[in-house]
Chains A and B, each alone.
Chain A
Amino acid sequence: MTRPSPAAVRWLILIALLVFWELFPRTGLIPELFLPALSKVVAVLANDWRMYFTQLGVTLYEVAIAMLIACGFGILTGALVGGIALLRNLLLPVFSSLYAVPIVILYPIFTAWFGIGSQSKIIFAGIYGFFPVMLSTAAGIRTIDAQLLLAARSMGASLPQQITRVIIPASIPTVLTGLRLGGALTIIGVVVSEMLTSSAGIGYVVTFYRTILDSAHVFGGIVMILLLSILFDTFARAIERRTMVWQTAGRRQKEGEEPQVAGAPAPAPV
């Protein structure tokens, strides 16, 4: 009578998908060009792992620098825009609308300016990831409970103390959510730009093998990108959970996951 846990169901679905991926192409109902069997993709990855990892290295390098740019500038501008009313009224509407623009249309210009090497990818992905980081930082600072600042002032906190001891810790959860989103977007930005115009990187690998109709290698690249994204997301979530024990405790229980805080009531069985 006991129902399987959500985690178990998630794993079951994943395994079912993998089995389907292996068996369905073997039935002949679908040409191998469209979907090569899982085992073939794995074989390709095992054979050409050196090439895949070299190219992944290029991508990782670009992602790392782009994330630094997106997070650094994003947090900085977000803090200024969120904290200073004049800047907020001036800039926030502009940034909010820019967020909706498909910035990928600018990429051809970037390749003209910065060449087709890593530089243009880093700048494009950096800008791509910048917006969610900046917007959520601004939101995080703007939505701080004014009562907390009043309380800190009543205890004699100076402005720098209010910033370091109240504003920063209070906005960390929102900022981290922005970093997770922005980080995901920089990965997308780098891969997309590699696919468009490039000579290296995992996105380039996918495009290259597509043009020579080598599906197994294309899927090999896709798998690498998938793993990269999942790895990043898992990592980002772990940091989020660590830093905002106080914030997630209430919400996580609603989601039916294990409570993060020792002593907090266990979630009711689903």
Chain B
Amino acid sequence: MANVSKLSVVQDAPADAAVEVARLSHTYAGREGQVPALQDISITVGAGRFVVIVGPSGCGKTSLLMMMAGLRHQSSGMIHIQGRPIDAPDPDRVGVVFQEASLFPWLSALDNIEFPMAIRHAPKAERAKRANEMLNLVGLQGFGSRYPHELSGGMKQRVSIARGLVQDPPVLLMDEPFAALDEQTRMTMGHELLRIWSQTAKTVVFVTHSLTEAVYLADEVLVMSARPGRIIDRIAVPLARPRSYEMMGTETFAKLRDRIWQQIRKSE
């Protein structure tokens, strides 16, 4: 593990960091005393960058993301979003897309997208206008009145992404959003996400356990170790944008993917 840092080829982080995690550690009370979950994590994500966190299951990557969202509190260390500390959910700065869409089943797709604005009592006309824009952005024109149970898994995640973007937060956090989808839908959704990202210029932090997905989507891949979770590698992905499916067949792609795999294996 000692030589891991030598492999890192992280490019200089831009000065205007959108997400900054500094020396974050987390322990929780287990049955036999304090269990370390996250250890000394420092991450800088430049504005507009797409960063993917990969790691074995149970490494704490989802916990880390929830902390960035202000939904959980770390034991020590700081998280800054857009230059200010975050200690509670702040939809003005951060949108979150969860695993398993987590749409409200009693609301139509449009009402689900409007939900964050409704909570803040935004005027009805503005809500409807904005929600419709988002619906178009994610490619669901004409499906606004459908209920979640009438939508496919991929469509549900599109609604979920629209909901995360509706308040136009600069940072979008995504927790394994495509994990429950089948392989083909997953690929399409990844590609769609990149399109939406390029149109909205958001900073994205994306958690996954799929190595292919990580390399395909990311500007930079952060590899986490098994518990206690640490960042054991930072890998810049030099593939050109826009990404295309053909890139998956290239040697660069395979090498990057293999390198991540080696790191994760070593850490276990």
Looking at A111-119, A147-155, A213-221, the stretch in contact with chain B turns out to be A147-155
Closest CB of chain B to A171's CB: distance in Å? 11
Residue with the highest number of chain B CB atoms closer than 10 Å, among A150, A169, A261: A150
Contacts of A264 in B (CB 8 A): 150
Closest to B69 in A: A154
Is B148 an interface residue when CB atoms closer than 8 A count as contact? yes
Closest to A166 in B: B104
Contacts of B94 in A (CB 8 A): 154
- Asked if B147 and A156 sit within 8 Å, CB to CB, the answer is no
Is B139 an interface residue when CB atoms closer than 8 A count as contact? no
Contact residues of A: prevailing secondary structure: helix
Q: Which of A224-264 contact B (CB under 8 A)?
A: 244-247, 249-250, 261, 263-264
Of the residues B95, B98, B119, B147, contact of A161 by C-beta under 8 Å: B119
- Asked if B115 and A155 sit within 8 Å, CB to CB, the answer is yes
Q: Which of A99-158 contact B (CB under 8 A)?
A: 145, 147-148, 150-157
Q: Which of B124-163 contact A (CB under 8 A)?
A: 146-150, 163
Tell me, in angstroms, the Cα distance from A151 to B161 when the chains sit together.
12
CB contact under 8 A between A156 and B102, given known A246-B148, A250-B149, A261-B150: no
Contacts of A26 in B (CB 8 A): none
Contacts of A263 in B (CB 8 A): 146, 150
Tell me, in angstroms, the Cα distance from A132 to B69 when the chains sit together.
39
Task: Please tell me the number of chain A residues within 8 Å of chain B, measured between CB atoms.
Answer: 26
Is B87 an interface residue when CB atoms closer than 8 A count as contact? no
CB contact under 8 A between A150 and B91, given known A156-B120, A263-B150, A264-B150: no
Closest CB of chain A to B2's CB: distance in Å? 38
- Asked if B71 and A249 sit within 8 Å, CB to CB, the answer is no
- Asked if B89 and A151 sit within 8 Å, CB to CB, the answer is no
Contacts of A148 in B (CB 8 A): 102, 104
CB contact under 8 A between A147 and B106, given known A155-B119, A246-B148, A246-B149: no
Contacts of B95 in A (CB 8 A): 154
Is A170 an interface residue when CB atoms closer than 8 A count as contact? yes
Contacts of A154 in B (CB 8 A): 69, 71, 89, 91, 94-96, 98
Closest CB of chain B to A25's CB: distance in Å? 51
Contacts of B99 in A (CB 8 A): 147
Q: Lowest 4 A-B CB distances belong to which pairs?
A: A155-B116, A154-B96, A151-B102, A147-B102
Pick 20 A–B contacts, CB within 8 A, sort by A.
Answer: A147-B98, A147-B102, A148-B104, A150-B66, A153-B89, A154-B89, A154-B94, A155-B89, A155-B115, A155-B163, A155-B167, A156-B89, A172-B106, A245-B147, A246-B106, A246-B148, A246-B149, A249-B147, A263-B146, A263-B150
Q: Which residues of A contact B (CB under 8 A)?
A: 145, 147-148, 150-157, 161, 165-166, 169-170, 172, 244-247, 249-250, 261, 263-264
Known: A155-B116, A165-B115. 9 other contacts (CB 8 A): A147-B98, A147-B102, A152-B119, A154-B71, A154-B89, A154-B94, A156-B119, A170-B104, A170-B106
